């Protein structure tokens, strides 16, 4: 699944962008719309567990620029794509000078539909690690990219599994035995109550019983019993 995040202060423009996406994006998608920089948009930007394509109007009214939104994105997220749309081509240089990794800059009145569709299709065809853990139960729906999951452990008080990602923690009503088959080969059991994404491990200390992740977090849930699994390529 890919999430489109549309930011434009013109509600008609937002509806038009949604209409275009519905016409030619046939893969699983989610579309979220914002008309200004607010707490909800900032929360969305901080959630890096889902692949996103941001489509930003470069002028949002009240002297607010889409460049500001793009800067907030790049502070925490270097993988999601950013497309700027605008009425004014003179903003092109400013956008590229102040924001890194912009996919494209599209003028609204110059073959917009054609260029927008071409850009989105090009992004969707890119080789991307988009495997996800999907969980649905009791009106709860959770989709998290495997690459974002650091480790999973059992909370003895709640009697649930806690999925720890780069930015969040999620509880699911499962056990270690049931969740392992739903994950790919990068995940291995490292303790009777813990599964780790071995691609995210930087250091293992079986003597002291801990591992250190690539975000510098030290987790004391490492058992010699599972040493073979962790060292297997």
Q: What is the pLDDT of residues 20-52, one digit of tens each?
A: 999 999 878 899 999 989 999 999 999 887 879
> What is the domain extent for residue 19?
2-124
Of 1-5, 20-24, 52-56, 204-208, the least confident: 1-5
Same domain for 150 and 115? Answer: no
Helix axes 11-24, 112-124, angle to 10 degrees: 50
Same domain for 94 and 159? Answer: no
Same domain for 51 and 9? Answer: yes
* Nearest by Cα to 45 from 16, 8, 3, 10: 3
DSSP letter assigned to residue 74: H
Using the predicted structure, report yes or no on whether residue 164 has a pLDDT greater than 70. yes
As a whole number of angstroms, the distance between CA 99 and CA 30 comes to: 25
Residue 165 has a pLDDT of: 92
Same domain for 70 and 113? Answer: yes
As a whole number of angstroms, the distance between CA 98 and CA 183 comes to: 39
Same domain for 136 and 155? Answer: yes
Contact 213, 151 (CB under 8 A): yes
User: What's the CATH number where 168 sits?
Assistant: 2.40.50.1020
Same domain for 143 and 192? Answer: yes
Residue 136 has a pLDDT of: 86
- Number of domains into which the chain is organized: 2
Residue whose tokens read 């709860």: 140
Same domain for 102 and 162? Answer: no
As a whole number of angstroms, the distance between CA 83 and CA 103 comes to: 6
Residue 189 has a pLDDT of: 96
Residue 216 has a pLDDT of: 93
């Amino acid at each position: 699944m890919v999430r489109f995040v549309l930011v434009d202060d013109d509600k008609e423009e937002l509806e038009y962008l949604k209409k275009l996406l519905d016409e030619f994006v046939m893969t699983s998608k989610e579309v979220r719309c914002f008309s200004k920089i607010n707490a909800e948009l900032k929360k969305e930007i901080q959630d890096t567990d889902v692949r996103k394509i941001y489509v930003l109007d470069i002028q949002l009214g009240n002297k607010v620029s889409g460049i500001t939104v793009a800067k907030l994105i790049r502070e925490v997220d270097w993988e999601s794509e950013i497309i700027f749309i605008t009425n004014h081509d003179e903003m092109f240089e400013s956008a590229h000078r102040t924001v890194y990794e912009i996919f494209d800059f599209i003028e609204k009145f110059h073959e917009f539909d054609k260029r927008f569709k071409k850009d989105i299709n090009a992004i969707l065809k890119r080789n991307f690690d988009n495997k996800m853990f999907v969980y649905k139960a009791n009106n709860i729906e959770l989709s998290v990219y495997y690459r974002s999951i650091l480790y999973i452990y059992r909370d003895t008080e709640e009697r649930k599994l806690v999925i720890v990602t780069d930015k969040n923690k999620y509880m699911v009503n499962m056990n270690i035995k049931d969740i392992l088959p739903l994950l790919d080969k990068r995940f291995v059991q490292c303790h009777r109550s813990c599964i780790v994404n071995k691609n995210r491990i930087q250091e293992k200390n079986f003597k002291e019983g801990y591992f250190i992740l690539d975000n510098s977090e030290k987790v004391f849930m490492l058992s010699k019993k599972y040493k073979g699994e962790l060292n297997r390529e």
